[in-house]
Structure 1
Amino acid sequence: MNKNGFPNGAALIFGGSGGLGQGVAVEFARAGVPVAVGYRSKADVAERVAGQIRDTGVKASTHQADVTDAAQVKAVLDAAVEAHGRVHTVVWAAGPFVNQRFISEMTPEDWRRAIEVEVIGFFNAVKSALPHFRDSGGGSFVTLGSGGHHRWPDRDGLSVAPKAANESLVKGIAREEGRYNVRANSILVGVIEAGMFPQLLAQGQFDQKWIDETMRMLALKRWGKPEDIGRAAVFLASDNAAYVTGQQLSVTGGYDL
């Protein structure tokens, strides 16, 4: 057990090359936890993140997979275990880039892609990790959900709705797997200065009216930062949250108040 409350082994971050995933990976490294950085196509980004982690003296590895393919996800889990001896934490930060569209404007293809990556992908990760967690004496799942679960954000349904399925699965994991010392919790993510938000902003999908209205709804008058999410993930995965499972931690700046 390290000084920050983690056993030997690594945190496996699915979506570790994404804007939020990078922040999560770095915060685990700051807690002295080795990191397995999962990615789909951004090998250069994943290697850069792993390099930054190694520069701090913490072990890191990179692993490529299409999360919609169960065999590839299982191979990543096995490779991470081989590299680090154990995986004690799985963080689900993977997700497709989704455009802001009203439900009436979504296409079946939009919906199918969101479900395949967010929901089927997370299920694949859970199925792969559970036997290892049980055999290792326990483990922790942390998913990145959405602040939209408490207050629906117009046009963000392709992100919010699939994540809602994962929220239910998190509770099921917590209920069924707690007897094996397996915990599962989620972080409700607000507007963060990383990931999709800067891209959507640059594309003009958020206008000044949206920015002003959203800021008015925040109790903390700023956008979140990747480290805000990363620190929450580290807490939920650590022994500091050893009696916390099946819960949602809202990191939204008070968006839902």
Structure 2
Amino acid sequence: MSKSGFPDGATLVFGGSGGIGQGVALEFARAGVPVAVGYRSKADVAQRVADQIREEGVNASTHQVDVTDAAQVKATLVAAIEAHGRVHTIVWAAGPFVNQLHISEMSRDDWRRAIDVEVMGFFNAAKAALPHLRASGGGSFVTLGSAGHLRWPDRDGLSVAPKATNESLVKGLAREEGRHNIRANSILVGVIEAGMFPQLLEQGQFNQKWIDETMTMLALKRWGKPEEIGRAAVFLASDNAAYITGQQLNVSGGYGI
């Protein structure tokens, strides 16, 4: 185990070009961990993130992948292993842009897309990674869930409900794969000043009333930062959390308490 609390090898971040995923990737780099940046369409952003990772003195690679395609996910894992020798951590930060809709307003296509990316995507990643993690002596899954699992946020169901399935899968992975020294944990993500939230604000999908009401539900009276999610992910994946598995770490400023 290196000084960073990680074995040799890399973290593979699915959704590494997203607003929060970027912050997660950079925090692993700051912890001395090489990063394989998975992205779907934002090649320029992924390359910029990789350059920032290299500025921290560690290796980086970029990998275009449609997570709904199991073959592409498997190929991405193979490429990340070739680039870094080993992948010890899988961070699931991928997810589609979802509009804020009440359940009654969602279309079947909206629902299917959310499930395909969030649920099938994470399943594809887990299936691809498990043989490698077992063969290399263990590893860790860290998923980005939602603080909405603890208190339903109206109109955010296309994000929260699929992620709830992944919460269950995380517990299953922790239970079934612990004998192989594979851990799985999730981060319940609150309102973060990155990713979808600024875009939804700009589009007017959140009005001042929503902002005021949400702020009253926060113990810490500010929005979160992507690096705060990243630091939680680094902790959960590191040897500092070696006896922690199947758990949720709520990083949401005390949302809903």
1:226 is aligned to: 226
1:152 is aligned to: 152
1:41 is aligned to: 41
* TM-score where L is the length of structure 1: 1.00
1:72 is displaced (CA, Å) by: 0.0
Q: Aligned with 2:140: secondary structure?
A: strand
Within 1, Cα distance between the matches of 2:110 and 2:56? 40
Does the 8 Å contact 1:98/1:158 carry over to 2? yes
1:55 is displaced (CA, Å) by: 1.6
**Percent identical residues:** 83
1:16 is aligned to: 16
1:57 is displaced (CA, Å) by: 1.3
Within 1, Cα distance between the matches of 2:46 and 2:155? 30
1:32 is displaced (CA, Å) by: 0.1
Within 2, Cα distance between the matches of 1:79 and 1:134? 18
Q: Where in structure 2 are the equivalents of 1:1-257 lying within 5 Å?
A: 1-257=1-257
Does the 8 Å contact 1:147/1:252 carry over to 2? yes
- Which deviations, in whole Å up to 9, do the C-alpha atoms of 1:118-145 show, x marking residues without a partner? 0000000000000000000001000000
Q: Aligned with 1:171: secondary structure?
A: helix
Within 1, Cα distance between the matches of 2:136 and 2:256? 37
Does the 8 Å contact 1:192/1:225 carry over to 2? yes
Does the 8 Å contact 1:2/1:32 carry over to 2? no
1:256 is displaced (CA, Å) by: 2.6
1:2 is displaced (CA, Å) by: 2.0
Q: Which runs of 4+ in 1 moved over 2 A?
A: none
Of stretches 190-199 and 2-11 in structure 1, the one that deviates more from structure 2 is: 2-11
Q: Which runs of 5 or more structure 2 residues have no equivalent in the other structure?
A: none
* TM-score where L is the length of structure 2: 1.00
Within 2, Cα distance between the matches of 1:112 and 1:120? 10
1:3 is displaced (CA, Å) by: 1.2
CA RMSD of aligned residues (A): 0.4
Q: Which runs of 5 or more structure 1 residues have no equivalent in the other structure?
A: none
Within 2, Cα distance between the matches of 1:242 and 1:171? 16
1:80 is displaced (CA, Å) by: 0.2
